[in-house]
């Protein structure tokens, strides 16, 4: 395996949220600092950690939760990143202009500067996940953001279900794919369906790790908000698809996980999926359907 220089410790902040944004920011900062004390070098928040998940209803008042990037949250987290000499991946309800909003994420380096930004590309419109009412589709492409700990990719929640997003981000050079997430069960769903949904959610992300030979870190929120019960279960999968760390399904937890980036080379040499791709035969992937 790799040398100490190949190893990076990542922190995942799985937490419950209060209705008051200031309480959530204060809690997130406290947990980020805890992760830093435990050795985390890159710390990622869950999706839209600044408030209760707003998209269970279509209500214009929730646009008031949005803020610019850079803005108050990135400034506060930038100060923490600079003080603790860590990298922070933060999920933010972004206000770009009047009436133009994104489900976004910012990558903040050890100097407190924003070195990367992502806007969620795939926007769901399901019961209690009415995100199309709030968010425009992302326009910043699938990128690898350079950091002192290696290039990282950020995708957001619904992006988890699309292998194209993981592939393109890995092809850009990302060694770790972070997925800030807010996924849970509706109170009226049958108990028999719940474990199947959760298993599918984990399986698709582990498949991204395997297919691309990268680390995948999914950080979900936890707790009951309105009619949704968020299932936590934040985890990290290595390039072989093995889950190397997992959080609780019911409570708050801060994971700090060491990732040996040398394993990317090792796995890709034995499973050369990127080498064997038939890029000459994939043109129709740009079509909606083949028929």
Tokens, residue 215: 């680390």
Q: Which of 157, 207, 159 is nearest to 183 (CA)?
A: 157
| Phi, psi (degrees; rounded to nearest 5) at 30 | -60, -40
Q: List the catalytic residue out of 31, 44, 55, 120.
A: 120
Q: List the catalytic residue out of 157, 225, 229, 253.
A: 157
Q: List the catalytic residue out of 17, 31, 44, 47.
A: 47
Active site residue 82: no
What is the SS3 assignment for the chain?
Answer: CCCHHHEEEEEEEECCCCCCHHHHHHHHHHHHHHHHHCCCCEEEECCCCCCCCHHHCCCHHHHHHCECCCCHHHHHHHHHHHHHCCEEEEEEEEEEECCEEEEEEEEECCCCCEEEEEECCCCCEECCEEHHHCCCCCCCCCCCECCCCCCEEECCHHHHHCHHHHHHHHHCCCCEEEEEECCEEECCCCCCCHHHHHHHHHHHHHHHHHHHCCEEEEEECEEEECCEEEECCCEEECCCCCEEEECCCCCCEEEEEEEECHHHHHHHHHCCCCCCCCHHHCHHHHCCCCC
Active site residue 157: yes
Active site residue 131: no
Q: Which residues are catalytic?
A: 47, 120, 157
């Amino acid at each position: 395996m790799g040398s100490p220089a190949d190893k990076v410790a990542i922190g995942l902040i799985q937490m419950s949220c209060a209705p008051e944004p200031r309480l959530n920011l204060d809690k997130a900062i406290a947990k980020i600092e805890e992760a830093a004390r435990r050795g985390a070098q890159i710390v990622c928040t869950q999706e839209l950690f600044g408030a209760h998940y707003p998209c269970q209803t279509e209500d214009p008042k929730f646009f008031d939760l949005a803020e610019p990037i850079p803005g108050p949250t990135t400034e506060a987290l930038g100060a923490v990143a600079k003080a603790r000499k860590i990298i922070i991946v933060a999920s933010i309800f972004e206000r770009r202009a009047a009436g133009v909003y994104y489900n976004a994420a910012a990558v903040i380096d050890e100097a407190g500067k924003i070195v990367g930004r992502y806007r969620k590309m795939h926007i769901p419109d399901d019961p209690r996940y009415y995100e199309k009412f709030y968010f425009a589709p992302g326009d910043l492409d699938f990128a690898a953001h350079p950091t002192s700990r290696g290039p990282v990719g950020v995708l957001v929640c619904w992006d988890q279900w699309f292998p194209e997003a993981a592939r393109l981000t890995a092809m850009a050079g990302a060694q770790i794919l972070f997925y800030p997430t807010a996924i849970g069960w509706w109170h009226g769903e049958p108990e028999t369906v719940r474990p199947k949904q959760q298993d599918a959610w984990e399986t698709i992300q582990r498949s991204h790790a395997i297919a691309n030979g990268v680390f995948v870190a999914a950080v979900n929120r936890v707790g009951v908000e309105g009619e949704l019960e968020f299932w936590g279960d934040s985890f990290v999968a290595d390039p072989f698809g093995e889950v190397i760390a997992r959080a609780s399904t019911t409570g708050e937890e801060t994971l700090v996980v060491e990732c040996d980036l040398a394993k990317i080379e090792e796995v890709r040499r034995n499973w050369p999926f990127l080498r064997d791709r038939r890029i000459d035969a994939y043109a129709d992937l740009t079509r909606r359907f083949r028929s």
